[in-house]
Structure 1
Amino acid sequence: MKNFIIEIQCQTASFRNPDFQNFHKSLELPPPTTIIGLAGAALGYSPLRAQEFFDESEFEIGIYGTYLGKCKDTWKYNKGIRDMRLYDPGLDGSIIQKEFLIFSTFMIAFSCNNEEAIEQLYKAFSYPIYALTMGNSDSLASIKNIEKNLDITEADKIENCFVQGNVVNEVMSLAGSGNFGFSIYTKDTLTYDLPIRFEYENDYGRRTVSKIETYSLIGDQMKINYNLKGLLYKNNFIPLFSI
């Protein structure tokens, strides 16, 4: 299975937490749909075509990241106008509070058995067609390094990454059968139900969520009582999961 990792940096980033509405709290890592969109920008594809690209080949991805701080800012957005009239800022606009991650570094892994597809994506990130952004159109990102064909490894210590499924439930299930070799410490909500696929009207049209999966967002280092498959990059273990 061929693979590569991109190391990407940005001054600001924001990935909307679906559990919050009026206040746009950010996830601490880009979710899978953001990674699909990022790849689509590099390839020069529409959102629909980018999703189809990942559907056509069985990709695995991994997401690892850190940031220096957080801030909140007011954000003006426009509501969709469905009837035939001119835009009215008094009726169609609103102000919300939005949370941003500051000076972030993300390490995104891509792995696939389809050598043609993985090579196409590797070349796209080497020479992106569209500007790369992280969550917002004005959160410009730059690729600092790309490394390919890393060895697949396993680890039971994880931090600053996404893991597919509910890690706590899995750990406790194994503990119930006598496997107590774990340590978990967290202050924040660990598990999220995140959209991974959308139904599009057309290439750039309206979209609705068509598939949701559970992911665990790992912050501080924890030791779990089973091994995860992943890639090791600059001494950072990045778990892989199917997308």
Structure 2
Amino acid sequence: MLCCTIELKSVTASFRNPEFQNFHKSFPLPPPTALIGLAGAALGLSPRMAQDFLDTNQFQAGVSGKGEGMTRDLWKYDRLTGTGSSIILREIYVNPHYRLVFGSDNHEAVEQLKAAFDSPVYALTLGQSDSLAKIVRTTLTDAVVEGQTLENTLVEGDIVPAILEQVLYGGTFSLSLSTSDPIAYQLPTRFNYKADYGMRTVSERKLFSFVGPQVTFQNRTFSGVQVGDVFVPLFKI
């Protein structure tokens, strides 16, 4: 499998967790649908065409990274009913630095995606239109490796039970009400579209875990790509 790695930075990023209605809580990393959106923007494809492109070429993807801090912003929006406006709180990550990976056995498609990220058709944004992303570098690699250490990354499945198992191997574990603790979510991965840029409905969800502080597993490995000093686990997108 050939992989395209993309390192990018921004001043801000916000990826809304749809489980929260009156408060825009943000995921710490781009979820799968945001990764599809970034690839589509780089390629100049509509949301539906971007999803089809990754589906047709059976891409895997991965993302790791974090922001230097997090703040909350007051966001004013107009109500659909025409009854005025309202204000809600929105979480924003500051100075995020992410490593993305897209991999496929179709080398031509991977090379096409790399060329797109080198010269994107549309501006790349991280969850909101004013969170413009800057590409630091892109590379191609076929070095898919097995890793045991996860940190500030997204992994498919519920990783919390596997972390609890580390206690049996002499490791330490603590659980608190902190957003840095591993948390699993059923995230949308596919949409049904009425038109290329039309209304959409969720057609598929998968269980993913956001992993914060470093965890090293004694009895489990993850397939992924080493991007500099960062290991990025892969999942089917």
TM-score for the superposition, normalised by structure 2? 0.91
Q: What RMSD, in angstroms, separates the aligned Cα atoms of the two structures?
A: 2.0
- Which runs of 5 or more residues in structure 2 are unaligned? none
- 1:239 match: 233
**Distance in 2 (alpha carbons) for counterparts of 1:181 and 1:70:** 33
Q: Deviations over 1:135-190 (max 9, x none)?
A: 00111111011121151111111100000001123455xx49x9737555553351
Give the match's secondary structure for 2:37: helix
- 1:85 match: none
- 2:189 match: 196
Q: CA deviation at 1:200?
A: 1.0
- 2:72 match: 72
- Which runs of 5 or more residues in structure 1 are unaligned? 82-87
Give the match's secondary structure for 1:49: helix
Give the match's secondary structure for 2:96: strand
Q: After TM superposition, list the pairs within 5 Å mapping 1:1-243 onto structure 2.
A: 1-80=1-80, 88=82, 91=83, 93-170=85-162, 175=165, 180=169, 183-185=172-174, 187-188=178-179, 190-224=183-217, 225-243=219-237
Higher Rg: 1
Q: Deviations over 1:43-71 (max 9, x none)?
A: 00111111111111111111001111111
Identity of matched residues, %: 43
Q: 1:50 to 1:80 in 2, by over 3 A?
A: farther
Moved more, 33-42 or 12-21: 12-21
Question: Conserved in 2, the CA contact under 8 Å of 1:198 and 1:207?
Answer: yes
Give the match's secondary structure for 2:223: strand
**Distance in 1 (alpha carbons) for counterparts of 2:174 and 2:195:** 44
Q: CA deviation at 1:235?
A: 1.3
Report the number of matched residues: 232
Amino acid at match of 1:30: P
Question: Conserved in 2, the CA contact under 8 Å of 1:193 and 1:214?
Answer: yes
TM-score for the superposition, normalised by structure 1? 0.89
